[in-house]
Structure formats: C-alpha cells, structure tokens
A and B are shown apart, each in its own frame.
Chain A
Amino acid sequence: MRNKLRDGVSILGVGCSQFGDLLETPEIKGLSLQELTNQAVQEALADAGVDPLEIDAVFIGNAMVHSSQLPGTYSQLAKWLGMQFKSGVHFEAQCSTTNVGAAMAAMAIASGVYGKVLVIGFEATRTRAKELSPYEREPISTDQAWAWTDLAVNQAYSVPQGYEIFSTYNGLVALGYCRKYGISIEDYDRGMMEICRSRRLHGSMTPKAILQETLEDEAARLGFNDLKEFWESRYNPFVAWPSRVRNVVSVADGASAMVLGRSDEARSYSVSPVELLGFGIVYGDLPWYGSDPTVWPIDRMAWQRAYQMSGISPRDLDYIHTHDCSNICGICNLEIAGYIPEGKSLYYAMDGRMGYDADRPVSTHGGRHAFGHAWAASAGSDTYEAVLQMRGEAGKRQIKPWPETAAIHTHGYAMISTVLILRRC
C-alpha cells in the first residue's frame, strides 16, 4: 500500500443540522429527511462559498434504509439539494459513513478526476416514515432501532446466537480495561461519571446538540442534590455492567455535509481552509478483540495508517474526537491514538483534563451521548466540530489557542475503524 495522497486535499466547508427528533425537536420538527439533509448541505456550500454548479460529484450516505425508506439517495435527493446531473453514489459505512466519504472524496480529488466533491450523511434513528405517507413520520422503539442497526452485524452467526451491542461494545471492554490497569469497578464508575459530566457540559454549550442539559441540572431536576447519588440511582441503570446508560449513545435524527477540494485552490474559497492530511480505514468482523479488549487490531491499524499518511505524530494533536457510542471504547482509542497515556484516561477525566478549557480537550460538541448519534451523519458532525474549533468558530466552547491539528476517529458497525487527521493551513 502506497498510503499517500498525490495532491493536497482540503475541507472547504462544513454543515450540520440540528441533531434531535423530527417529531419533537422544535428546530427540525415537521421536516422531511430531504429537507433536514438540505439544511446541512446549504450550510456546507455557503461555508465553502462554493456554487452548487461547481460541485463535480456527490457521495451521499444513509445507513438505515428501514427508517429513511430512501435508497438510491443520489437521485431521490438530487432536486432537493440542487445537485442534479452530478457524478456520485449512495454508500454507507454505518457510523463512519461521512468520514469514509471524506476519504473517498480525497482520493477522487487527489487523483485528478474531480475538483470539488460534496459528501453527505443523513439518518433517522428516532423516527420512520409512517405507513404510506410521503411526509408523516412516527417514532421507532429503541429495540426496533437496534434490531435494524444490528443488521450490519454478522448475520450468519453472531446476531442469531445472542450478540448485542451493550456487552460486546461496552461491558466486556470495560472489564478488560479495569483488569489490565488494575482499576477498581468503583473507580471505573466514578471516572465514567466524570466523562459523562464533561460531555454533557460540552453539549450544554452546543446549540445543535440533542442533550443540552448538564448532568448536574438533570440530577437537580430529578430531585438529587448529590451527583454521585444520582449517577448510581435507578435513573442511570447498568446497560452492561459495569457500564451505565449515561455512558452510551443518545439516538438522534440528523444530517451533516462537507465540501472538499484541492488544497492549492482552497485559499480562494475559505479564509481558513483545513487540510485533510491523512486517513486510515480498516474493518474487521467479530470478534473485534482477543486477549486484550482495550486494543483492537482494526483501531491500531487505522491510527497507524492515518499517522503514516499525514506524517504527524500523536504529540502534534491539539484536539481529538474518538467514537464514544460507548464511552469505554472512546477511551481506549484516546490511548491507542497516544493522546492520553495508556490506562490514564479515567484519571484525566477525574482531574477535569478533557474539557474544552483543559489541556487535553476531547469531543467538545458533547460526543455521541450529548450531541447525539444519527448513524451515517455522525462522523460528519464530529468533523464539523473539529473544523469549527480549528477556525475559532466554536463559540462558548472554543478551545484556546485554536487547535492547529486534530484527529477524528469513528467506528462504523460492525466494525470499520476510521481516522481522519486535519490541519489548519
């Protein structure tokens, strides 16, 4: 593998919809998926200062066709997005979709085939099309959403024999982490509360997040003066011991988009373009780990390839997001990435070092728990946040000084590990 981009590629513009519920969240209530997606696309085009006619190709992703009922998204959304008669394709890499799309766009641009590519991801994980109605939607139950989502997991053997995300992707990894580093279950739980507190604080400063209430405010609303008492209460049960429900994903409807183009033309489009320095993409079927649940081969390989292509080292990173659909897997990737020393993430969290205003900022939009998780759109929302931070546009949660180099890691079921490395030009 040559593992190099022949020409430089930059992100010219980014867009992201409100993450929420198409039946409930005021900003998006009543919209169709076509219109929700267009919000993200129009923001990305305006941000890039790129005219729709300048876009050569559209890579558009959606993972769960059962709720969207929009296969063939390229043509179904073409007129809604002002993107008729483009090259392009519908693709999916589940929760890595948009960032895999960015890598595909980078390869297409660096090869000289396309000049500007629009990458889009959209998803409805809370609502589905209602019967035969072209515009009405209805809620999806949580177990139904997971059953559809688990169609992306080994259907021959794992799912029929009892696989479920919470144990495999959370509880078993957590126990592996505690055993490896000699951390007690009590300390694990305390560290996890601090991770959640940090993400919820970030969510409270992020107008597009699905959860904008801090953990402290939620505890008070439910009648608790003591945060730890609330954390250990019936409001926060174990989903897979020793992990609790507030250390996992909050499902959302949402859309994200980005415009990529050649770096040598980037300055004429954006005051502060962000270069896509490199990426690593590696997938593997279950089991995702062997003797050590904290270090997955796909993650190690994806990080290694991304660092190699971009020519940077972990020391260069000023900001990171790692996939935190399960907080423990997010932590393992902070450590595989070399952003936080091995076995230290929970202590960093307890010491408040992962906040937007601390020395090792992580997931400043709130991550999958507070910002929300709209499968195919989420990786793009993570990249959106990184780009805002690098351009100094992150508002109350702005990292200072603005990060120069950032990494975004996502896991797409089941399982594709994807790392993007970005640098402010």
Chain B
Amino acid sequence: MSQRIHVQTEINGEAQDFLCDPRESLLDVLRNTMGLTGAKEGCRNGNCGACNVIMDGILVNSCLVLAVEAEGSSITTVEGINTPVGLHLIQQKYMDHAALQCGICTLGLIVATKALLDHNPAPTEHDVRLWLAGNLCRCTGYDKIVRAVLDAAEAMRENV
C-alpha cells in the first residue's frame, strides 16, 4: 500500500488534520474521511461545480484539488456557511425563491454565491450568470437561482 500523507488544515474555522493517499482529491477526503458530505460529486473533472469549496478565499472545485495540496490552507465548505444564529441570508433566499429542486447542485451553488458576493456585493444579472456559469443545474433552468442571488445581494447590502 502506498505511503499515506499527513495533512494539517483548518476546515470551517476548526483545526483539522487527516491522512490521505497522494492520489486522493480534496473532495474524496472531505466526503469519505472527514464525513463532510455537503460537497457533492457531479463530474469529478471540474465541469459541474457541485463540489465547490472556498480555499484560502478562492472558490475551487474540490475534485480538482489534491488533498495533499490542502496542507496549511483554510477551507470553507457549505457546512461552514450558516451562521451561529441560523441560516445565512444566501441560504434563506434560495429557500424563499424556490431556487432548488433536487438540491444536488444547491450546496456548490451556495458556496459559489458566497464567493461571488464576498467579491462583488452588487452584481448585475449578467455578473451572476457569468460567475455561476461553472455550476451546472439540470432542474431549475436557472431562473429562480438568479433571482435568489440578486435578492440575497440586495438583502446583504441592506444588512451591513
């Protein structure tokens, strides 16, 4: 058996370490080793965004990150998005706008939306569509998601 590697990270604000095989992706370790199954696998090659996490402030497809690359980094998964007092406004707006059907794309989308709004608090419809173009959703036709994101942006601007 190949040599397993010890990796130290911070996940959702808590220090975490794990052992992994060099060929394992961050997605596999999050799901299979850490039990954080909020990141989903839709394609395993960077085409769908279902596995999105934020790594050191940057939105990444965790299926394309080797687990060993996470050494020393800080990772936010969808499980780390909600606030101590409850749902994040982004999550609330997805619910209010019925912006999910099956929900498998939703977790990655919520992470991607968080990264968008951290980076651009006042996006236009086009900005939203461009930023989220790496996240496939097969159920909704995107309409209600775009509305939810624009509404979340507005609500978050009012909140600060």
Whether A and B are associated in the same complex: the answer reads no
Chain B interface (Cβ within 8 Å of chain A)? none
Chain A interface (Cβ within 8 Å of chain B)? none
